[in-house]
Amino acid sequence: MFKIKGLLNRVYAARLPSIEDLEQILSLQKDEEIEELFAFADKVRKDFCGDGIILRGIIEFSNFCFRECSYCGLNKGNHKLERYRMDKGELFKAIEYLASFNIKTVVLQSGEDERLDVLWLTDVIKGIKSRFDMAVTLSVGERSADDYRLWRQSGADRYLLKIESSDAALYASMHPKMDFGKRLDRLGILRKLGYQIGSGNIIGLPGQTLKTIARDIIFFKRGDFDMIGIGPFIPHQYSRFAGLKEGDARISLKALALTRIVTKDAHIPATTALGNLDKDYRRDGLKCGANVLMLNFTPQPYRRLYEIYPHKEAVNEPADFCNSYIDNIAKDLGRFIDYSKADSLKGTDLRLAQETSLVGG
């Protein structure tokens, strides 16, 4: 034990760690060193976020998408995929079901649906806010500043817009007709409007290296994001990246742990994609820095059709099954389920966790 303690402490204490240090940690191979990394990240999670496992409920309300992202099964060129758009009645039924589990955040996600009417979503947000005590997170891609403003004014609290890769060339290679600079602009607009914002990346993309991942972590630190989602790449047969190797679970977990150590108080989920590999790694994610679980409340048959990647059983579990699953996980890990809205920890008292507790300790 304690073989890499100095390195971990240096990264933890740095205002901005060096790429070389991050790369060195990401390249650790020995089990005992990786365990040390995970234990360190778990301690940072405990110090800055506490022992609560925060629950979010996601509803994927449309799988229409006009984008051509090389990794994603929703890409516009996938004509095999049956497309759907939930109506308000179906959506509110799903939200009521989610509320019945006492979950206080709904994540409304869709592909980049050109027909998503700004006023339709405005009405949905207002409806949720008037009927439920619930935070609303949006994840509907790049929209105009006016749309973002209207949704924020209607009560939307948070916005997820992952950078996927912070390397401009890598980003361009897998996002035809998209613009890296524009993505950054959208994030700036969302922040100015007062949204809590989420970023994140995909691990295992073709052309990605440990150095690129290290740079992603620096990007997360610099961006001071409220939420960061790190998940492995899972190939989809009707995407440009069909047949490629899926992202490595261990590298994904190392990146998650390191992101926790560097960013300290961001909300970091054990992503759904982590539950979709050869086994379910979400529990491992919760043990090395993650403090959030996302439960899927998209009703069937739509859930099956929101196929960003092929689903394994764990992702297709009904929400009530997930509920007993998470109760067991919490008990096992000596943690508890946090049924609050769990807003961003940025700028709150919880942030005053002893900055030095791990340094030299």
Instruction: Report the DSSP pairing between strands 227-232 and 196-203.
Output: parallel
Residue 299 CA to residue 91 CA, distance in Å, equals 9
Give 56 or 236: the residue with its C-beta nearer to ligand SAM: 236
Give 34 or 65: the residue with its C-beta nearer to ligand SAM: 65
CB of 340 to ligand SAM, least distance (A): 25
DSSP at 310: P
Give 278 or 349: the residue with its C-beta nearer to ligand SAM: 278
Which residue's structure tokens are 């590999």?
277
CB of 204 to ligand SAM, least distance (A): 8
Which residues in this chain contact ligand SAM in the complex, by CB under 6 A? 71-72, 74, 109, 111-112, 139-141, 161-162, 164, 202, 231, 233-234, 236, 273, 308-309
Is residue 274 within 8 A of residue 285, CB to CB? The reply is yes
Backbone angles phi, psi at 89, to 5 degrees: -60, -50
H helix or E strand, kind and range, residue 243: none
CB of 1 to ligand SAM, least distance (A): 34
Give 215 or 335: the residue with its C-beta nearer to ligand SAM: 215
Q: Sort 348 into a burial class: Cβ within 10 Å, 0-12 / 13-18 / 19+.
A: exposed
Residue 326 CA to residue 256 CA, distance in Å, equals 20
Give 44 or 81: the residue with its C-beta nearer to ligand SAM: 81
CB of 348 to ligand SAM, least distance (A): 26
Give 161 or 330: the residue with its C-beta nearer to ligand SAM: 161
Which residue's structure tokens are 């700004």?
118
DSSP at 276: G
CB of 161 to ligand SAM, least distance (A): 5
- Beta-bridge partner residues of 200: 229
Residue 158 CA to residue 352 CA, distance in Å, equals 23
Give 297 or 309: the residue with its C-beta nearer to ligand SAM: 309
Residue 102 CA to residue 132 CA, distance in Å, equals 10
Give 45 or 162: the residue with its C-beta nearer to ligand SAM: 162
Kindly state the tokens that stand for 183. 């993505």
- Beta-bridge partner residues of 199: 228
Give 233 or 281: the residue with its C-beta nearer to ligand SAM: 233
Cβ atoms < 10 Å from Cβ of 19 = 15
CB of 186 to ligand SAM, least distance (A): 10
Kindly state the tokens that stand for 137. 């997170």
Evaluate the CA torsion angle 216, 221, 222, 228 in order and state its sign. positive
CB of 155 to ligand SAM, least distance (A): 20
Residue 48 CA to residue 90 CA, distance in Å, equals 38
